[in-house]
């Protein structure tokens, strides 16, 4: 792989694993602190709902980052760098990481909204969107690296130009649409911010995380050099953008 991309993912995976572990520890510490605040006397029902959502997002962040740290640790042990396997494994690990990092920031936005600091919710919303854009860039970089590795040369991007020209704009459109919807008051988001929608979102994210872990396990135990089908690459990016856009609709609104 170094001859194709000029980037040794097994070396970077060690640092990625450490970062994911740090985020997992941070999420766990805030999770324990937040549980102590739940259902305190005099707390409004709306605040309890936000804290409950923050708890769920932090729990997802903790579990997912522990998983991602473990996946990156496994990638750092890869030895056959001339095969496409390390790139496929890093794509699957990065797919989870690109989602849980903004989710951790979203949990912080919920927390601020309930901590008598509602005037700075707008600031945290902007920080969340910045983290989402960084994660999007990370996800596209991972996708391009995978396509190059599987194609055997930088010309592989031209061969898969249709995939990139369709998926990239569609991903941006989904995120922009979700951002516009998130500015609406609660109850005016087409039902995307309801409790039923929230429950379905959590279950779908857990299912996606489980499937990606199964895919990682299958690839890591397989031998030989094989390529990930392009439809899976495209579907993975669409699932990421769909879940990220859905998560955006739960953001608390900015208050003056």
Tens digits of per-residue pLDDT, 178-227?
999 988 887 778 888 888 898 899 999 999 999 999 999 988 887 767 77
* Residue 108 and residue 124 in contact, taking contact as beta carbons nearer than 8 Å: yes
* Residue 181 and residue 192 in contact, taking contact as beta carbons nearer than 8 Å: yes
Prediction pTM value: 0.85
Average pLDDT over every residue of 94-112: 89
CA distance 26 to 20: 10
Q: Is 41 exposed, middle or buried (0-12, 13-18, 19+ CB in 10 A)?
A: exposed
Does residue 121 register a pLDDT over 50? yes
CA distance 99 to 88: 17
Burial 219-256 (b: 16+ CB within 10 A, else e): bbeeeeeeebeeeebbebbebbbbbbbbbbbbbbbbee
Domain boundaries, the chain: 2-248
What percentage of the chain carries pLDDT values higher than 70? 84
User: For the chain, what is the mean pLDDT?
Assistant: 83
3-state helix, strand, coil in the chain (%, to 5): 75, 0, 25
Enter the tokens of residue 231: 């439809």
CA distance 155 to 13: 26
Task: Tell me the per-residue pLDDT of 15-27, one tens digit each, with 9 for 90 and over.
Answer: 999 999 999 998 8
């Amino acid at each position: 792989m170094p001859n194709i991309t000029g980037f040794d993912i097994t070396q970077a995976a060690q640092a990625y694993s450490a970062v994911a572990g740090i985020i997992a520890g941070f999420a766990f510490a805030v999770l324990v602190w937040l549980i102590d605040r739940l259902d305190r006397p005099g707390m409004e029902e709306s605040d309890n709902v936000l804290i409950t959502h923050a708890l769920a997002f932090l729990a997802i962040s903790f579990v997912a980052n522990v998983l991602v740290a473990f996946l990156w640790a496994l990638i750092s042990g890869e030895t056959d760098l001339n095969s496409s396997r390390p790139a496929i494994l890093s794509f699957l690990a990065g797919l989870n990481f690109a989602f849980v990092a903004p989710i951790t920031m979203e949990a912080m936005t919920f927390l601020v909204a309930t901590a008598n600091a509602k005037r700075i919710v707008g600031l945290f919303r902007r920080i969340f969107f910045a983290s989402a854009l960084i994660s999007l860039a990370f996800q596209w970089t991972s996708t391009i690296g995978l396509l190059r590795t599987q194609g055997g040369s930088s010309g592989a991007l031209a061969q898969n130009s249709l995939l990139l020209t369709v998926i990239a704009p569609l991903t941006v459109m989904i995120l922009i649409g979700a951002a516009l919807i998130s500015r609406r008051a609660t109850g005016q988001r087409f039902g995307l911010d309801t409790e039923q929608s929230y429950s379905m979102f959590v279950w779908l994210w857990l299912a996606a995380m489980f499937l990606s872990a199964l895919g990682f396990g299958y690839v890591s135990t397989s031998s030989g050099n094989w390529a990930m089908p392009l439809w899976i690459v495209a579907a993975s990016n669409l699932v990421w953008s769909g879940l990220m856009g859905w998560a955006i609709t739960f953001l608390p609104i900015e208050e003056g």
